[in-house]
Each structure stands twice: as C-alpha cells, then as structure tokens.
Amino acid sequence: MTNKKKALIAGIIGAVLLGAIILYLSYLGLSPDSDRVDEVEKQANQYMEEHFQQDYEIIDTLYDNVDVYDTFSYAAIVELENDDRFKFLVFEHNETNELTDSYVAEHFEYELESVLQPLLNEAYGEDNVQELWLTYPKDAGQQLNLDHTNVTSVTEHDLKPVIRITLDRGQEDDDEEKLDQIISEIQDELNISGGHVTLSFNDSAIMFKDKDIKKEF
C-alpha cells in the first residue's frame, strides 16, 4: 500500500472518529443529567410541601436544552389533584437562584387559550389547527407579586404573550387578514397590550414552502 493510500485511509478514519465524538458530545448536551433531575424533584417536593396546601403529584421533569425559557434549565412538572385545568412548573430561577413556580403564568396561559382556541377553530377550521403553543414569562408570579392564593385575571396585567399557531395545510390568501382579526379580538377581550404571534403552515411542498406569518402587536 502506498503512502498516499495510507494517508487517505488515516484521514477517513480520523474524520469518522471526529464525527462520532461530535455526535456523542451533542447527545450529552441534549440529554438531561440524571443527578440533576433527582435534585430538581427533591427540591420541588420540599417547595410544594411548604407553599401548597393541596395534594399534588410530580409527573415529570422538563430539561430546557434549547433555551426556550430564560428563567430555568430544569423544572419539575406538577399537577394538583382535583384541578386538571393545567399543570405548572417548579424551578430554581436562573437569576435569583430561588425556588419558585409558574402557577400564575399557567393560569394566564389557560385564560388566553380558552379565548384563542375557539377563534382559531372558527377562522381556520378545527381540523386545520394542528397546534397552538403559547407562553407568558414563567416567573410572572414573581414579577407581579402574585401566587396561587391571590392570582387574578390576565386582563388586569400588562404582560406580553408569545403565541405560535401551526395549520395543517398550506397558506391561503386570507390567512393573514384572519390572523389580524384574531389578534384584535384577543386584545379587546383580554386587554392585551402587545405580544408576538407566529402563524406557520405544515404544507407538503419539498421546495418553496410557505413562509411563516409573524406579527408584533
């Protein structure tokens, strides 16, 4: 075997090994740390015992490995018995390092979704609304000095939601006009001063897919 072939084979092997190492490190970065998960669940149990006088269950943990939320990396997902309206998070705040919960934010999200979902179903057709995802700042309770004992309606607070809607079809001519009308209606009904909405399309095109419609209001 010539030196040139040996060098080529060595280069290929090196590239494969490097790729394997990169994939492994990426996997480690995307996978939750089991010790951290155990710690989060333990902290959440202590927090719930101290702050909630209701039976509850920690049903899972959330590892935010893509930085969707800026307030935490790990959180316990909690469900209260006899209250199936929504689940909420217990987490250590990234800035304050204090344990807190997202009950107030989830309450606001539930209120917004209850108004928004019927409007979407009416405008685009229930079968076409593939997904509705929305969020308020998960530390809304801390920001507003509210908790599960004194939470009020979202209409009384100036918080800006982030909303993402996915339709299970391609874009139609009047989709943006309908979206503008929906935004106007939720602003009027819930006294929302502003926010961000993205309307996405799950079309089947391989090329030239429909672009998202994005609105700041």
The number of beta carbons lying within 10 Å of the beta carbon of residue 134 is 18
Residues 121 and 189 in one domain: yes
For the ranges 21-25, 198-202, 212-216, the lowest mean pLDDT is seen at 21-25
Distances (CA, A) of 161 to 71, 100, 108, 117: 15, 20, 9, 15
Confidence of residue 2 (pLDDT cuts 50, 70, 90): low
- Supply the mean pLDDT for the chain: 89
Q: In the chain, where do the E strands start and end? A: 56-63, 74-80, 88-92, 99-101, 129-135, 162-167, 196-201, 213-216
Residues 96 and 183 in one domain: no
Residues 182 and 120 in one domain: yes
Determine contact, residues 130/124, Cβ cutoff 8 Å: no
The number of beta carbons lying within 10 Å of the beta carbon of residue 114 is 11
Residues 39 and 89 in one domain: yes
Residues 114 and 188 in one domain: yes
Query: pTM of the predicted model, to two decimals?
Result: 0.83
Write down which residue in 101, 131, 153 finishes a domain.
Answer: 101
Instruction: Report how many domains make up the chain.
Output: 3
Q: For residues 183 and 205, give the distance between their C-alpha atoms in angstroms, rounded to a whole number.
A: 28
Q: Which domain holds residue 152?
A: 104-216
pLDDT in tens, 165-180: 999 999 999 999 999 9
Residues 90 and 117 in one domain: no
Residues 5 and 108 in one domain: no
Residues 173 and 97 in one domain: no
pLDDT in tens, 76-122: 999 999 898 999 999 999 999 999 999 999 999 999 999 999 999 99
Residues 165 and 129 in one domain: yes
Residues 123 and 191 in one domain: yes
Write down which residue in 50, 69, 101 finishes a domain.
Answer: 101
Average pLDDT over residues 18-37: 59
Residues 4 and 56 in one domain: no
Q: For residues 136 and 69, give the distance between their C-alpha atoms in angstroms, rounded to a whole number.
A: 10
Write down which residue in 84, 101, 118 finishes a domain.
Answer: 101
Residues 64 and 160 in one domain: no
